[in-house]
Amino acid sequence: MPGNKAVAYQGPGKVTVEDTDYPEFELKEGPGVNPANVGRKVPHGAIVKAIATNICGSDQHMVRGRTTAPQGLILGHEITGEVVELGRDVEFIKVGDMVSVPFNISCGRCRNCKEGKTGICENVNPDRPGSAYGYVDMGGWPGGQAEYVLVPYADWNLLKFPDREQAMEKILDLAMLSDIFPTGYHGCVTAGVGTGSTVYIAGAGPVGLAAGVSAFLLGAAVVIIGDLNKERLAQARSFGCETVDVSKGDPKDQIEQILGVPEVDCSVDAVGFEARGHGRDAATEQPATVLNTLMEVTRAGGAIGIPGLYVTGDPGASTEAAKVGSLSLRLGLGWAKSHAFFTGQCPVMRYNRQLMMAILHDRVQIAKAVNASPIPLDQAPQGYADFDKGAARKYVLDPHGLLGSRA
């Protein structure tokens, strides 16, 4: 049996690459594993050899110490790879299949899954609906920033690529299907982006950039992305977005300079709870800033997609209210403008097959747009550190050295 190496959270600001157990078809006791899940049999699962597994901004929240993640938690929920072993109940997925693994873990059997709401599956997390690999309070399923990972309900969860050779040619693009591409797309779909739309996206990290690509794919006329990071704003401009530097002041004024009016048709929050202020307040954390700004700049009757992460427990928050996810929102403004708000995990399976086809048939180059950058698994700590400093890159871990010089 092969060994396994994985990236583990070791406390605020620190991750390490550790030797860990090769997956079995049973959940074992370990850091973050829900006690009610210990001993859970997984005959419906598959073991996937990770060919590409990405560092996500959601992981970074944990590594900064901004969640209740326990020390030793194996990280990683963006997984693309090859099936190497099957549980006895798997019927359709085969050993050797190249697959994308949605970050949502779902059973395919509960009411929510049957309604397409795979981000809030009722059967995989004993504490509450919704689960993900390697994430705090998500049931304790081991993460996929590893050489090998267990995927439950394999026939349901895994998206098989049609051709292995073609998949390897486009592996960095396909690696974005596990999370950020569907997440950015979901933000735009729920915001109502369509032909001729004007769109404001808060945040030029990988999800924000993926949302920008998605907005164009959906037919937007103008896509504006706002951020504090000049390198990330330059990355947004590289594929046709207009940009707003929120360190220079109110986004509304800069949007008016671009469009001639201070409002957009729809907007997307790709920042989440670690938002900073605008203008002179850009150096301070103000977690409600983005949501309040989007209500201000979105036209009456418009919608706001909120794929950016908000949490119920933030020990690093600056106020007692924010530590439990309570923010000072101008809900009255949103109510007065009849805004629609869409929150929660992206249900990846609602979009991943369609986006796969767009990639395979050269309708989109998502890896280029987000500046996908492969690094070896043992360089994960440096990748986390550089990403935390604002690198305009999407770091893709290469556990088995199969990505070569792709960039």
CATH of the domain at 96: 3.90.180.10
Residue 210 within a domain: yes
Residue 52 within a domain: yes
Instruction: Write out the two tokens for 346.
Output: 């992206």
CATH code for the domain of 242: 3.40.50.720
Angle at 9 between CA 6 and CA 14, to 5 degrees: 115
Q: pLDDT at position 1, please?
A: 59
Q: Are residues 250 and 313 in the same domain?
A: yes
Residue 394 within a domain: yes
Angle at 268 between CA 251 and CA 174, to 5 degrees: 125
Q: Are residues 210 and 107 in the same domain?
A: no
Q: Are residues 151 and 49 in the same domain?
A: yes
Q: Are residues 200 and 81 in the same domain?
A: no
Residue 94 within a domain: yes
Residue-level length of the chain = 407
Q: pLDDT at position 273, please?
A: 86
- Distance, in Å, from the CA atom of 149 to the CA atom of 6, rounded to the nearest integer, reads 9
Residue 205 within a domain: yes
Q: Are residues 162 and 132 in the same domain?
A: yes
44 touches 152 (CB < 8 A): yes
Give the dihedral sign, CA 183/290/303/116.
positive
Last-in-domain residue among 342, 357, 389 = 342
Q: Are residues 130 and 43 in the same domain?
A: yes
Residue 287 within a domain: yes
SS3 230: helix
Q: Are residues 138 and 252 in the same domain?
A: no
Query: What is the per-residue pLDDT across 189-244, written as a single tens digit (0 to 9) for each?
Result: 999 999 999 999 999 999 999 999 999 999 999 999 999 999 999 999 999 999 99
Last-in-domain residue among 342, 357, 378 = 342
Q: How many CB atoms lie within 10 A of CB 115?
A: 10
Q: E strands of 120-195, at which residues?
A: 148-151, 159-160
The 3-class secondary structure across 374-385, one letter per residue, is EEEHHHHHHHHH
Q: Are residues 72 and 163 in the same domain?
A: yes
Q: Are residues 61 and 192 in the same domain?
A: no
- Distance, in Å, from the CA atom of 124 to the CA atom of 130, rounded to the nearest integer, reads 7
Angle at 56 between CA 5 and CA 400, to 5 degrees: 30
Q: pLDDT at position 286, please?
A: 84
Per-residue pLDDT 10s for the chain (407 aa) are: 578 999 999 999 999 999 999 999 999 999 999 999 999 999 999 999 999 999 999 999 999 989 989 999 999 999 999 999 999 999 999 999 999 999 999 999 999 999 999 999 999 999 999 999 999 989 899 999 999 999 999 999 999 999 999 999 999 999 999 999 999 999 999 999 999 999 999 999 999 999 999 999 999 999 999 999 999 999 999 999 999 999 998 899 999 999 999 999 999 999 988 888 888 887 787 888 999 999 999 999 999 999 998 888 888 887 888 888 888 899 999 999 999 999 999 999 999 999 999 999 999 999 999 999 999 999 999 999 999 999 999 999 999 999 976 55
Q: pLDDT at position 305, please?
A: 98
- Distance, in Å, from the CA atom of 108 to the CA atom of 101, rounded to the nearest integer, reads 14
Q: Which phi and psi (to 5°) does residue 246 adopt?
A: -70, -10
Angle at 131 between CA 295 and CA 96, to 5 degrees: 120
Q: Which of 284, 339, 259, 257 is nearest to 306 (CA)?
A: 339
Q: Are residues 169 and 215 in the same domain?
A: no
Q: Are residues 313 and 387 in the same domain?
A: no
Residue 407 within a domain: no
Q: Are residues 302 and 352 in the same domain?
A: no
Parent domain of 100? 4-179+347-398
| Domain count within the chain | 2
Indicate the helix (H) or strand (E) that contains 82.
strand 79-86
* DSSP output for 65-78: T-S-PPTTPBP---
Last-in-domain residue among 342, 360, 384 = 342
Q: What is the DSSP letter of 342?
A: E
Residue 406 within a domain: no
